[in-house]
């Protein structure tokens, strides 16, 4: 069984107003130290256990701040330590403004074959409100440069429900992104998280209400499909062969390794996580004492059902019954009125959300499971 591998790179030029991920600014010396420590932690991983890896994902933060040589070194470490499939999907997150034509060509030559770009919007007023370091023009230039560098698989992030965004500005951003040489679109509804700049000033933000957000989400789904990007997960849309294979491992409840502070992994039926402390991670990795926290068993019925329902294809209830040796009669009964109301579909015993259902997915899943 091939597994995925995730590396967390916790560095950013600056913290965006909405971001709650574990990240910080860092000196060049700190970044070089982190590359060495992360490489050491990969090499120290459960000596004697050999895995085939078919997806790798460098996430953050802004991984490209490690520089081409640091990223290439880490990818070489992975290739040395594990059996990296020759057709592995190797994704690198990047922000426009942190890469150029030269670095993109070098990254492609190093083995990275998929780029996920944190564009978020193609409206300068919206980008400024989010605290992004790039302009719309710079974002477009970066996508085009990545395509010229040989990245056939390119994804753009798009945020919905952000300050200054209107229906027309959102439509314009979607159309412009769809016209670029990308095959994947990740669209996220803005969520105000504790500890962020937006959380501290949320009372002064002019944000859409829940009903407007739901309508905007449905507009997004409709537009994306008309422009050739077909929804395959709650927030993800892709052209043919453009789906992110690594993220599919999460939603299909498959195993993956993870390294870096605040990184979460899933191995041998157990969930684990590293402390969200860079200093602790560095010290332990350098001394060979790095041990993640065991978060308990993973892959139970609720988890498999919850994650599987994020996928547009839905969940095969008969298969779940066989896998977990339990009847789902009550779940089917609870689903019936939701199907009649147009929130769910049930075809050939496969339960799935409609676009309308996705707007209330958390409430619906709670109603079905608890």
Q: What is the pLDDT of residues 299-344, one digit of tens each?
A: 999 999 999 999 999 999 999 999 999 999 999 999 999 999 999 9
Homologous superfamily (CATH) of 3-251 is: Aldolase class I (3.20.20.70)
Q: What pLDDT score does 192 carry? A: 81
Q: What pLDDT score does 18 carry? A: 82
Q: Which parts of the chain register pLDDT below 50?
A: none
Q: What pLDDT score does 13 carry? A: 85
Q: What pLDDT score does 233 carry? A: 97
Q: What pLDDT score does 251 carry? A: 97
Q: What pLDDT score does 337 carry? A: 96
First to last CA, the chain: 33
Both structure tokens of 90: 């190797």
Q: For domain 313-369, which architecture applies?
A: Orthogonal Bundle (1.10)
Q: What pLDDT score does 119 carry? A: 96
What is the domain partition of the chain in residue ranges?
A: 3-251, 313-369
Residues pairing with 55 in the sheet: 4, 89
Q: What pLDDT score does 143 carry? A: 97
Q: What pLDDT score does 306 carry? A: 95
């Amino acid at each position: 069984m091939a597994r995925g591998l995730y590396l967390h790179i916790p560095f950013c030029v600056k913290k965006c107003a909405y971001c709650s991920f574990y990240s910080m600014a860092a000196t060049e010396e700190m970044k070089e130290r982190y590359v060495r420590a992360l490489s050491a932690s990969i090499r120290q991983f459960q000596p004697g256990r050999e895995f085939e890896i078919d997806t790798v994902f460098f996430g953050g933060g802004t991984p490209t701040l490690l520089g081409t040589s640091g990223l290439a070194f880490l990818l070489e470490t992975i290739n040395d330590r594990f059996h990296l499939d020759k057709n592995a999907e190797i994704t690198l997150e990047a922000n426009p403004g942190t890469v150029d034509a030269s670095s993109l060509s070098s990254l492609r030559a190093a083995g990275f074959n998929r780029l996920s770009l944190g564009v978020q919007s193609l409206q300068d007023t919206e980008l400024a409100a989010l605290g992004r370091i790039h302009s719309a023009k710079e974002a477009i230039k970066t996508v085009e440069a990545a395509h010229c560098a040989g990245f056939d698989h390119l994804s753009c992030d798009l945020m919905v429900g952000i300050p200054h965004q209107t229906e027309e500005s959102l439509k314009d951003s979607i159309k412009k992104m769809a016209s670029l040489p990308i095959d994947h679109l990740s669209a996220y509804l803005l969520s105000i998280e504790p500890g962020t700049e937006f959380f501290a000033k949320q009372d002064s933000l002019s944000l859409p209400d829940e009903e407007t957000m739901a309508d905007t989400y449905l507009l997004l789904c409709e537009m994306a499909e008309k422009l050739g990007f077909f929804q395959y997960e709650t927030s993800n849309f892709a052209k043919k062969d453009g789906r992110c294979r690594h993220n599919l491992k999460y939603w299909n409840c498959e195993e993956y390794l993870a390294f870096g502070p605040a990184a979460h992994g899933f191995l041998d039926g157990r969930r684990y996580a590293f402390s969200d402390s860079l200093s602790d991670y560095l010290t332990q990795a350098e001394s060979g004492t790095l041990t993640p926290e065991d978060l308990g068993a993973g892959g139970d019925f609720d988890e498999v059902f919850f994650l599987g329902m994020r996928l547009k294809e839905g969940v095969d209830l008969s298969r779940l019954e066989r896998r977990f040796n339990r009847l789902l009669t009550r779940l089917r009964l609870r689903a019936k009125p939701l199907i009649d109301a147009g929130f769910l579909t049930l075809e050939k015993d496969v339960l799935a959300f409609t676009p309308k259902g996705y707007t209330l997915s958390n409430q619906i899943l709670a109603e079905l499971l608890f």
